[in-house]
C-alpha cells in the first residue's frame, strides 16, 4: 500500500515526508484498534497530533486536491477492509490492525464528524487512487454509531430569512413598537417601515426560523436532517433553499407562487438581546393538506417550533403523520408571548403528543406560572424529557426521576443571542441520537449555544465548528 502511494509522488522530499507520516499513522491505527477493542482510552492529543501532521503532509503532496482533502474524512486503510465490512456504502472504511483484522465492534465505534453525504460526494470527486488518502482531524470519539445508522431528525418550521441589524441603543425598538426580547408578527406596512430604517443601517443576511436554526446546527455536526417549510418564488426563497443544499439538509420545502418569502427583521441590542419583527409571508401559508406521510418516513424525530401554533390544524396533522411514521415529537416553545397567547393549545400538545419539550425560563414561566426548577418538574410530568434553559446560568433537564443541572460555558462577550436556544436544542438532540447521557447531551447543547452567541446571526464559521468539535470530543472523553 505504501509503495503504491509512493509511486504517485515525484518529489523526493515529499516522498520522505509522506513515508514518515504514513508509518506514524499506521502505528497510531494499531494503538487505536487495540484501544477500542479493550475499551481503553487513547490520548486525544495523540490522535489529533497524528491527524494534524498527516493532513498537512497529504495536502502538500502534488495532485492531491488540498481543499477536498481538508474537507473530507479519513482513512488510509488496506483495501481488504472494505470487503469485510457489511456497510451500506462501500466508501465508509475503518482502520485495521493487520490484514485479517476487522470486526463489527470496531466498525460501530468509528464514525465521522461531518455529514455522510458531504463525505460521499467529496470522495466520489477524487481520483480512485486517492480514495485511501482521505484525511479528517476528528474521526475518533465523536460518535458511537455509524453515520448510516444514526437517527435522523426533520424540522418543521417557518422558513425565514433573517435580516440582522445591530443597534447603538434601544430607541428604535420603541419607535417601531417592538418590546425588547419579543417576537412580534408584523404586516406588510410595518415591514416596509422597518426596511426604510434598515436601508440606512448595516445589515447581515442569514437563514433563520427556530426549527431551521436547529436543523442547521444538527447538520453541521453531521446528523442526518431534513426540513419542511414554505418559501416564496423569490431571492429570499432561493437563498433559503441554497443554504439547505450547501449543508446537505434534505429539502422538503414547498414554494408559493402567490406570497413572498418570510423575513425576520432582527434587532440586536447592545447587550446582545434580540428582538424580532417577523413578516411570515409564504412561511405561514403551509397547510395541512400539503403534508404527506412520505415526508416523515426515514426519520426518528420531528422537531417543531412553537411559532407555528397559529395553524392548529397543520401542526396536529403533522404530528399525526409523524406518529404514524414512528417519530418522536420535540417541541420548542418559541417565545413567552407566543405561549401566553395560546396556552390551551400548548397544553394540548404537551399533554397528549410531545415527547421532548424545550423552553427558556420566560416561556416555562408563561406556561406554568413558576420559576425554572418548579416549572421543570411540572413540564416533565407531561412528557418524556423536559429542558428549561436559564441563559448564562445553564440549563435544567429532567427525565422521570432523573434531574440534572448543567452550567453554560463561559463567554467573554455576547455578540448576539439569536439562535442560542435553537443551537442548544441542536446539540442536545445530537447527543440524544448518539445515545449519550442527559448530562453530556446538555453539555453539547451548551457548547453550541455558547458559540453561536459569539457571532452575529446563526452562521458559524468553519474554524469555529472545528473548535466546537474538539470541545465536544473533550466532553465525551470525560
Reported as a single tens digit per residue, the pLDDT across 443-461 is 999 999 999 999 877 788 8
Q: Categorize the per-residue pLDDT at 16 as very low, low, confident or very high, splitting at 50, 70 and 90.
A: low
Q: Which residues contact 78 (CB under 8 A, 6 or more apart)?
A: 1, 96, 99
Residue 266 vs residue 34, higher pLDDT: 266
On whether the CB atoms of residues 78 and 99 are closer than 8 A, the answer is: yes
* C-alpha span between 62 and 230 (Å, rounded): 46
Q: Which residues contact 302 (CB under 8 A, 6 or more apart)?
A: 153, 154, 155, 156, 296, 318, 319, 322, 327, 328, 329, 330
Kindly state the average pLDDT of the residues 298-318. 94
Lowest mean pLDDT of 144-153, 349-358, 462-471, name the range: 144-153
On whether the CB atoms of residues 161 and 171 are closer than 8 A, the answer is: no
The residue assigned the cell 490520548 is: 43
Supply the mean pLDDT for the chain: 76
Q: Categorize the per-residue pLDDT at 63 as very low, low, confident or very high, splitting at 50, 70 and 90.
A: very low
Helical H runs in 61-209?
A: 66-71, 80-84, 104-108, 116-125, 171-176, 188-198
Q: Identify any residues that bridge with 263 across adjacent strands, giving them in sequence order.
A: 161, 279
Lowest mean pLDDT of 97-101, 223-227, 383-387, 393-397, name the range: 97-101
Q: Identify any residues that bridge with 396 across adjacent strands, giving them in sequence order.
A: 388, 405
pLDDT digits (tens, 9 = 90+) for 337-355: 899 999 999 999 999 999 9
Please tell me whether the overall predicted TM-score, pTM, comes out greater than 0.75 for this model.
no
Q: Categorize the per-residue pLDDT at 150 as very low, low, confident or very high, splitting at 50, 70 and 90.
A: low
On whether the CB atoms of residues 358 and 332 are closer than 8 A, the answer is: yes
Lowest mean pLDDT of 235-239, 273-277, 379-383, name the range: 273-277
pLDDT digits (tens, 9 = 90+) for 243-279: 999 998 999 999 999 999 999 999 999 988 889 899 9
pLDDT digits (tens, 9 = 90+) for 18-30: 565 556 555 555 5
Tell me how far CA of residue 178 lies from CA of 184, 264, 306, 372, in angstroms: 7, 13, 20, 26
- pLDDT above 90 as % of the chain: 52
* C-alpha span between 406 and 194 (Å, rounded): 38
pLDDT digits (tens, 9 = 90+) for 423-442: 999 999 999 988 889 999 99
Largest CA distance in the chain: 74
Tell me how far CA of residue 381 lies from CA of 276, 376, 394, in angstroms: 32, 9, 21
Kindly state the average pLDDT of the residues 47-74. 39
Q: What are phi and psi of 113, to 5 degrees?
A: -100, 10
Laid out side by side, the sheet with 250-256 consists of 250-256, 225-232, 153-156, 301-305, 328-332, 356-360, 385-389, 395-399, 402-406
Q: Categorize the per-residue pLDDT at 70 as very low, low, confident or very high, splitting at 50, 70 and 90.
A: very low
Q: How many CA atoms lie within 13 A of 331 on its CB side?
A: 31
The total number of residues written for the chain in this structure: 478
Amino acid at each position: 500500500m505504501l509503495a503504491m502511494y509512493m509511486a504517485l509522488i515525484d518529489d523526493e522530499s515529499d516522498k520522505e515526508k509522506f513515508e514518515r507520516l504514513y508509518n506514524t499513522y499506521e502505528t497510531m491505527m494499531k494503538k487505536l484498534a487495540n484501544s477500542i477493542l479493550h475499551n481503553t482510552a487513547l490520548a486525544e492529543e495523540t490522535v489529533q497530533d497524528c491527524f494534524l501532521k498527516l493532513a498537512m503532509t497529504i495536502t502538500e503532496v502534488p495532485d492531491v486536491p488540498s481543499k477536498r482533502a481538508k474537507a473530507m474524512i479519513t482513512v488510509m486503510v488496506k483495501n481488504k477492509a472494505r470487503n469485510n465490512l457489511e456497510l451500506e456504502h462501500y466508501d465508509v472504511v475503518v482502520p485495521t490492525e493487520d490484514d485479517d483484522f476487522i470486526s463489527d465492534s470496531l466498525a460501530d465505534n468509528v464514525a465521522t464528524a461531518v455529514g455522510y453525504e458531504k463525505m460521499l460526494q467529496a470522495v466520489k470527486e477524487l481520483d480512485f487512487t486517492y480514495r485511501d488518502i482521505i484525511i479528517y482531524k476528528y474521526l475518533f470519539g465523536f460518535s458511537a454509531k455509524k453515520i448510516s445508522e444514526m437517527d435522523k431528525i426533520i424540522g418543521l418550521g417557518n422558513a425565514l430569512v433573517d435580516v440582522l441589524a445591530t443597534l447603538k441603543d434601544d430607541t428604535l425598538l420603541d419607535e417601531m413598537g417592538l418590546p425588547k426580547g419579543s417576537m412580534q408578527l408584523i404586516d406588510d406596512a410595518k415591514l416596509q417601515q422597518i426596511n426604510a430604517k434598515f436601508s440606512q443601517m448595516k445589515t447581515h443576511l442569514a437563514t433563520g426560523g427556530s426549527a431551521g436554526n436547529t436543523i442547521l446546527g444538527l447538520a453541521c455536526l453531521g446528523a442526518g436532517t431534513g426540513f419542511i417549510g414554505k418559501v416564496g418564488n423569490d431571492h429570499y426563497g432561493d437563498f433559503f433553499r441554497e443554504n439547505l443544499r450547501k449543508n446537505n439538509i434534505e429539502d422538503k420545502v414547498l414554494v408559493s407562487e402567490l406570497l413572498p418569502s418570510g423575513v425576520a427583521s432582527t434587532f440586536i441590542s447592545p447587550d446582545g438581546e434580540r428582538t424580532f419583527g417577523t413578516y411570515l409571508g409564504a412561511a405561514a401559508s403551509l397547510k395541512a393538506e400539503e403534508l404527506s406521510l412520505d415526508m416523515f418516513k426515514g426519520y426518528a424525530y420531528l422537531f417543531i417550533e412553537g411559532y407555528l401554533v397559529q395553524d392548529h390544524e397543520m401542526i396536529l396533522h403533522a404530528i399525526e403523520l409523524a406518529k404514524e411514521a414512528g417519530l418522536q415529537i420535540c417541541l420548542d416553545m418559541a417565545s413567552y408571548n407566543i405561549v401566553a397567547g395560546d396556552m390551551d393549545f400548548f397544553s394540548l400538545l404537551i399533554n397528549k403528543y410531545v415527547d421532548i419539550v424545550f423552553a427558556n425560563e420566560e416561556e416555562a414561566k408563561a406556561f406554568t406560572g413558576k420559576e425554572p426548577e418548579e416549572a421543570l418538574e411540572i413540564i416533565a410530568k407531561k412528557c418524556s424529557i423536559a429542558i428549561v434553559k436559564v441563559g448564562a446560568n445553564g440549563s435544567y433537564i429532567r427525565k422521570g426521576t432523573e434531574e440534572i443541572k448543567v452550567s453554560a460555558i463561559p463567554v467573554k462577550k455576547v455578540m448576539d443571542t439569536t439562535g442560542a436556544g435553537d443551537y442548544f436544542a441542536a446539540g442536545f438532540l445530537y447527543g440524544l441520537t448518539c445515545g449519550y447521557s442527559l448530562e453530556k447531551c446538555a453539555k453539547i447543547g451548551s457548547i453550541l449555544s455558547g458559540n453561536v452567541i459569539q457571532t452575529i446571526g446563526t452562521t458559524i464559521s468553519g474554524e469555529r465548528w472545528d473548535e466546537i468539535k474538539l470541545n465536544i470530543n473533550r466532553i465525551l472523553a470525560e
